[in-house]
Amino acid sequence: MLWSEYWAEAKYMNESHLLSTPLVFHPIYSQLDLPFKHRFPIEKYQAIYDRLISLGVPKAQFYQPDALTPSQLKRVYSPDYVNGLTQGVLDPKAMRRIGFPWSEQLIQRSLTAVAGTVMTSTLALEQGKALNLTGGYHHAFANFGAGFCLFNDLYLAALNMLQASAINKVLIFDCDVHQGDGTAKLASNNPKVFTVSLHGEKNFPHRKQVSDLDFPLAKGTTDDEYLTVVERALHQAFSTVQPDAVIYDAGVDIHVNDDLGHLHISTPGVYARDCMVFDACSKQGVPVAAVIGGGYQRDISALVDVHLQLYRAAGVVA
C-alpha cells in the first residue's frame, strides 16, 4: 500500500479524539522564513490554531502529522522533479514559478503540510469528517510546482482514500478562487477521481486546465449569485458521480477583502458555502476531508476570522 509505512508510524494522541471532529496541525505549517513583504501569509496557520485554542478547542483534538518522504512522493510524481526540488537543485526558473526561495525549511514544511492532508483524509474515513489547518496545494502538477504549491496534497489524499475497500470514487470539490489546475491535470486520466472547480474566470492561472466540472465566476460576483453556483455545482457533482468520499478545498480568497480574489463574497457568504458543502456530504452519507485553501489578506487577524468559518460550519466552534 502506498502509505502503509506512513500510517504504521502515526500515533493517535488519546481516545478523546473519538468524541470530536479530528483536526490536523503541526507548528511547522507556519515555520518558513520568507523575504520581507512576501505575498504568502505564512503566519496564518499558527494563528488559526491559536484562535481555535482560545475558543476552547482542546489540544487533544489535534493530530500531528509526520513528514512524507521523497520516496513516497516519487511513486506518484516525477522522480526528477521530486529529487530536484528536495535536493535544492531545481532550475531557478522552476523555483520562481513556485514563488518561494528554496530552503531546507521549505522542503520540510511542505512535506509535513502534504502529509497533514493525507492524514486528514484517513481520519475523515474513520470518523466521517476531518479538517487540516493547511492544505489546498492544487497548482502543483506531476512534474512542476506553481503558485506557492510544491506537491499536490489533494490528489495524494484522493489516492489515499481510494485504498480503502469501500471507496471507489472520490470527489475533489475545490472552492479556492484560483482554478485547481494541477489537480485537474493529475486526475484527468484517473476515472476514480472526479474534480470540480469553482474559480475566478479572469484570475490565476491564466491557462486553465479542464476539470470534470468547471464553474468560472466573473469578477465582482456577490453572495447570492455565488451560493447559487455552489448549490448547482454540488447537485451536479453528487448526481453525476455519486462519490464515496469528498475532499473539500475551502479557499477563502473569494472574500471581498482578499487581495488576490476579485470576488465580493462576504464572511457570512463564506460560512454559508461551507455549511452547504458539509450539509451535502452529510445528506449523502459520505465522509469529507477539508483543507483551508487560499486566503491572502495581509491583516492576519482578519484573515483568520474568514478561515474560521470552516470550523464553525463543521461544528468545531460556535
Among candidate residues 138, 139, 255, 264, the one labeled active-site is: 139
Q: Could you tell me if residue 137 is left (phi over 0), alpha (psi between -120 and 50 degrees) or otherwise beta?
A: beta
User: Are 95 and 102 a contacting pair, CB within 8 Å?
Assistant: yes
* 139 a catalytic residue: yes
Residues forming a β-bridge with 194: 171
Residue 243 CA neighbour count, 13 Å, CB half: 30
Among 218, 216, 142, CA closest to 185: 142
The C-alpha atoms of residue 60 and residue 20 are separated, in whole angstroms, by 10
Question: Which secondary structure element, helix H or strand E, spans residue 153, and what is its range?
Answer: helix 153-162
Residue 214 forms beta bridges with which residues? 197
Question: How far from 290 is each of 36, 47, 81, 203, 227, CA to CA, in Å?
Answer: 30, 18, 27, 23, 18
Active site residues: 139
